[in-house]
Amino acid sequence: MAAKTFPAAVTAQPWILPQARAVPTPRPAARSGAPQGPLAPPPTGPRPPGQQRSAPAEAPHGPRRPAGSGGGRQRHGPPGPPCVTGQRRGGAGPWGWRCRPAGPAVRCAECPAVVSAAAEGGGMPHRTELYEDPPSACWPIVYSPDYNITFMGLEKLHPFDAGKWGKVINFLKEEKLIADDLIVQAREATDEDLLVVHTRRYLNKLKWSFVVATITEIPPVAFLPNFVVQRKVLKPLRTQTGGTIMAGKLAVDRGWAINVGGGFHHCSSDKGGGFCAYADITLAIKFLFERVQGVSKATIIDLDAHQGNGHERDFMDDPRVYIMDVYNRYIYPGDGFAKRAIKRKVELEWGTEDTEYLQKVHTHVEGALNELKPDIIVYNAGTDILDGDPLGGLAVSPQGIVKRDEVVFKAARSRRIPILMVTSGGYQKRTARIIADSILNLHNLGLIDKEQATCGVQSPKLEQMIRDSAKDLTNLSLQ
């Protein structure tokens, strides 16, 4: 179906509500004794030639729905300006022509459309603690003990190892790579942080335990009081989401960053699933676009065994974001609509092994980065490609996973592109050891280092400052 378009004045300044089009019609004659003042009826009698009727002062409407366009009864409450992003799936269905702005951002409260106020010129981004600078002595490795999900053994009902993040950190401590005071402590993302991408309607749905049970695929969660679900299930996921956002800024500032958690690539702005309740990858990129000067292009390299349909739906038709996705074609989620957002799609067969897998990853990572040089790479490094994983269906060895991460980091380092890594899926107990071994290998090869964080990769912010300085010097020489 062809996308609906709106007048240029609307699309250029979406926070300005359009006036109703003049439709000259005769007025009924005035009755004697009609009330005067604010309650008076509209003026009666014909208008002077050339004069047009303007829209009411309060709640002007967007374009009217065309006759026969479908969609039934209006569901969105008081009509407002048209949706500014054009993300009205299925025409004038449940996300129709008229969307209601919510909060300081230019946002639709009912449909999945999200445009930040800063991006559209509607104001400054909200204040957040997630972008506060950590101590310079810290590694750009983000973690919090709050990542781990433990409550009455319920976490064992899902094949996901809900304590693997703490195990990764313990392995790195045992190898003397890091210590507690050298880790960046992740902070929980607030509702205001989440609303940069998520709709209020979706966040309200998470206040129902059965919704969270469906997303996490742990049925007994549906019978828990929601305050328990918030504290024991969703808070760890919000903290990991905050960690991904923090790691995005660290990557730009220091050249690389690793969030030991995160990678919830099945969650989009208005829908969760597959143990993913918050769209941390989308949030990290949107935060960078809004707040970090010089970051205007991003590449997502998603090497989890499953298709990353969440961020794909969020960045559908967004030319600033290039998505490469390598996944088992036969498993969850099989989202055909989301696949339209993938610029470089690599679909794998059951049981794909090291040689074929690594050859395809190397070829397509190089191709993706040659096709578009981004300002940031977000690398979703799922370990569910491991041989024997109950959900991934591939057959890559532990050494193959370590080599895969090496290939991606070498490609980023050779091009001096900042890279953010998140750990995503992995449904075997041994994946924590493999993640730790991969991080140690990257360090041993010199691909990650505390010193490299400040000088090894030139950040877009620094490049922008250099360009601005060069322009100032040019202007001075011309005077």
The answer to whether 362 is a known catalytic residue is no
Tokens of 90: 């299925």
Phi and psi of 137, rounded to 5°? Answer: -75, -15
Give the N- to C-terminal CA distance of the chain in Å, as an integer.
56
Q: Beta partners for 352? A: none
Tokens of 215: 């997303």
In this structure, is the dihedral angle defined by the CA atoms of residues 323, 325, 330 and 332, taken in order, positive or negative? negative
* Cα separations in angstroms, 89 against 79, 115, 313, 442: 18, 16, 11, 42
Tokens of 426: 């992995």
- Tokens 């903290």: give the residue: 239
Q: Quick check: 427 and 160 in contact, CB under 8 A?
A: yes
* Cα separations in angstroms, 116 against 122, 194, 291, 385: 8, 12, 11, 35
421: part of which helix (H) or strand (E)? strand 419-422
Catalytic option among 61, 198, 265, 266: 266
* Cα separations in angstroms, 335 against 49, 299, 309, 321, 327: 57, 20, 6, 19, 12
Residues acting as catalytic residues: 266
